[in-house]
Structure 1
């Protein structure tokens, strides 16, 4: 497949700047792959497409307020530090992006609120740095909850507000470490999840911490040559066991909530459609054509053009069918991206 196959025009007016309230009141496009049919519903109607015995697999990754602002030593220049991931918690080492990068060099110290100090110990990319927090007692995750800002996606035209700390998060988020929210799961409310459970659908967690590579531009026309960044994942033993039993006994479907969940499942799938439990790092890249081994149905948002997220969905839905559905969505005033509407593909 070529990168140009995933190109479409997304007007800024179609990008949702705020979430639906309540979460499950957003619109839902239902795409039947076999019949090639489209239905238009609200997200709260999604339970009508589930059956007893189905497994709903969710990504419980939690977004932390990863943007913090400090001052450079001596000059007092304001520096934005975007915490990407912890490299060594005990040593206080973090992989970060800094802005403005030209002012931040190895050896510089950056001072934050609460008398917290970090030293730049390495350059990684043009904006990338490795920093070490010099306060041995500081818990960085606790610190950013007090002084950090929500890392809204770069396509937002507004600054984050207090409500984004809750809105840009799933209601079941529990494993801190993401700088990008698992978007598809943000439509669920606790009452809707309870209703689904009462139907006999099991809700199972996995963890994948989405990284900023979600928004990276793909710079090759031949998408097979694109390389994904590695992202941390964890599949609990119970989740793997439930999925494998369901696959063996053919008692229900595995419904993946979001492309991150789908990628973790497929990255850890065996030839016969079972999955392995455990944790690690994955750079699994799914694009058409791809034979899915575990995922039977997919819940997703409407994705940006020319992105790896769109390619995962395209591989699952069948490329031409999905792009036609996107044309319908644009004409039918669906809202796109993180705070936008949803799709259910089965």
Structure 2
């Protein structure tokens, strides 16, 4: 059956959009949903350990968010400019989003800080996108750490005091424009307990693009074009996961980014996992044929987003919307700094 965009809408009171992270990462609430029966239970994230069995594997995306939002000025008029790094295309050339887009044309030079970082626009793209070539002294990431800000989602208005709270505790590989937020609930202590229970911890990398927040504009969701994101799975990780599967364990993904990586590779190799890397624009929506993932941890997603559609592809549309309505009644916290779901 073909779904329309309206089928994935729900009413969310504004005050339930979490503006700041909780003091303790794993103190967030956890709504456990059985995808077959649609039944749900209220828990806390630190109780996730009770949902995992020895022999299962928990998969985590170790991508790290770049401080990708830069404030600078046009070299000629000194007018204020905002540049958001989306992805590194080649060398010092990046695909970016710029504001004010109509005033930033090819050839425009921009300066950041006291000229420690300079840029020139080399190409215009759609939706306010620009190709930008940077010049600087030293190491780009170090210059970025100094001058850049965390690119928090547009619905978060509060200032983030501790930048590390928009990173997972296992983030290692720089490259994301947004955090893989389902992983924000894990603590090193909780992961150690999970491992001690006999659950394998497996890492992969998917660099989250800002297309994650791009609204679906087509009434018929089949017409939506997904953005592409870079992923990587090592041979060691693939071997561990294949072995877990072969012994009857479950593969539990932390977040939609881990799901997208696993299912991209599983679809490519008929349900088997192999060392692989590349770009994926997989669009998982109701009717999708799952190949690898047996359950997952995820946050509560924006109405009409591709992420709600992905979750609905696993649970069925009615089950997920019923669970969301319960979460709203119980005043769960929504979106990036919000509470979590475990879908089994």
- Deviation of 1:258 after TM superposition, in Å, equals 0.4
Pairing 1:162–2:161 present: yes
Q: Matches of 2:215 and 2:99 in 1, distance apart?
A: 19
- The equivalent residue for 1:102 is 102
2:29 corresponding residue in structure 1: 27
Residue 258 of structure 2: which of 237, 248, 261 is its match?
261
**TM-score with structure 1 setting the length:** 0.95
1:236, 1:324 → 2: CA distance?
A: 37
CA distance, structure 2, for counterparts of residue 318 and residue 341 of structure 1: 21
Q: Which runs of 5+ in 2 are unaligned?
A: none
Answer with 77-86 or 117-126: which moved more.
Answer: 117-126
- 1:90-129 correspondence to structure 2 within 5 Å: 92-115=92-115, 116-129=117-130
Deviation at 1:108, TM superposition (A): 1.3
- Of 4, 8, 12 in structure 1, the residue corresponding to residue 6 of structure 2 is 4
Taking the TM superposition and a 5 Å limit, the aligned residue runs for 1:271-282 are 272-282=270-280
SS of 1:268's equivalent in the other structure is helix
Q: What does 1:75-94 align with in structure 2 at a 5 Å threshold?
A: 75-89=77-91, 92-94=92-94
Contiguous gaps of at least 5 residues in structure 1: none
User: Which one is further off, 100-109 or 255-264?
Assistant: 100-109
Q: Alpha-carbon deviation of 1:29?
A: 0.4
What is aligned with 1:43? 45
Question: Secondary structure of 1:324's match?
Answer: helix
CA distance in 1, matches of 2:335, 2:161: 20
Map 1:187-226 → 2, pairs under 5 A: 187-226=185-224
- State which of 303, 309, 312 in structure 2 corresponds to 1:311: 309
CA distance in 1, matches of 2:16, 2:222: 29
User: 2:36–2:315: 8 Å Cα contact kept in structure 1?
Assistant: no
| Secondary structure in structure 1 of the residue aligned to 2:257 | helix
Contact 1:243–1:274 at 8 Å: present in 2 too?
Answer: no
In the aligned structure 2, how far is the partner of 1:301 from the partner of 1:233? Answer: 21
> Which one is further off, 275-284 or 126-135?
126-135
Bigger Cα displacement from structure 2, 263-272 vs 94-103: 263-272
Q: Who is 2:175 aligned against?
A: 177
Matched position secondary structure for 2:195: helix
Q: Using the alignment, how far apart are the partners of 1:97 and 1:272 within structure 2?
A: 37
Find the partner of 2:230 among 229, 232, 235: 232
1:77-130 deviation per Cα after TM superposition (whole angstroms, max 9, x unaligned): 1111111111112xx111111111122111111111252211111111241111
Alpha-carbon deviation of 1:21?
1.6
Deviation at 1:247, TM superposition (A): 1.8
Paired with 2:97 and 2:317, the residues of 1 have a C-alpha distance of: 35
Residue 231 of structure 1 deviates from its aligned partner by 0.4
In 1, Cα distance between the equivalents of 2:229 and 2:245?
26
Using the alignment, how far apart are the partners of 2:138 and 2:222 within structure 1? 42
SS in 2 for 1:269: helix
1:5-35, Cα deviation, whole Å (9 max, x unpaired): 1011111111001111210001000011234
Equivalent residue of 1:134, what SS?
strand
Contact 2:175 2:207 in 1 (8 A): yes
Deviation (angstroms), 1:193: 0.4
Comparing 307-316 and 118-127, the one that deviates more: 118-127
Relative to 1, partners in 2 of residues 1:272 and 1:85: Cα closer, same or farther, differing over 3 Å?
A: closer
Give the conservation status (yes or no) of the 8 Å contact 1:247–1:273. no
